[in-house]
Amino acid sequence: MAIAKKIIKAPAKTPAVMVETKKLSAKDTCGIGCWKMNHLLLCVLLVINTLMLVWVVYNQTKLEADRVGGRDNYKMVKQIYTSDSFKAQQTQQIEQALQMYQQGTTQETPVLDTTLPTTTE
């Protein structure tokens, strides 16, 4: 005679995380209020960005003045840069550099013989 085992079902486990779904109504979705808030945020960011740009451009001369040792030195350097003799000197140096590079391209580069001489005795 065969012995029949009873099959016992395990109790159903409750899920660890419960997920609830909810249908959104028209007032729950983003409407005009969100658009206005985003528009306002964009305008505020643009104003802040513009102010920062103006500040950086305005302080550029201060940075240059600090680089040469102060406002007095910066005024003297500006006078040097605007003088005709400085411009002529810079023009002459640039023309010399151009001539040097142009001569370098027109000359043929010498070919070096890298073979080792063979001696037969």
Query: What local confidence, expressed as pLDDT, does residue 67 receive?
Result: 85
Q: How many domains does the chain have?
A: 1
Q: What is the structure's pLDDT at 65?
A: 83
Percent of the chain with pLDDT over 90: 31
Strands, E, within 16-86: which ranges? none
pLDDT in the model for residue 112: 57
Q: What global pTM score does this model have?
A: 0.37
Question: Is there a domain that residue 27 lies in?
Answer: no
All residue ranges of the chain with pLDDT < 50 are none
In whole angstroms, what is the distance from residue 96 CA to residue 102 CA?
Answer: 10
Task: Give the model confidence (pLDDT) of 58-83 as tens digits.
Answer: 888 888 888 888 888 888 988 998 99
> Is 73 contained in some domain?
yes
Residue 18 located in a structural domain: no
Range of the domain at 91: 34-103
Within-domain flag for 94: yes
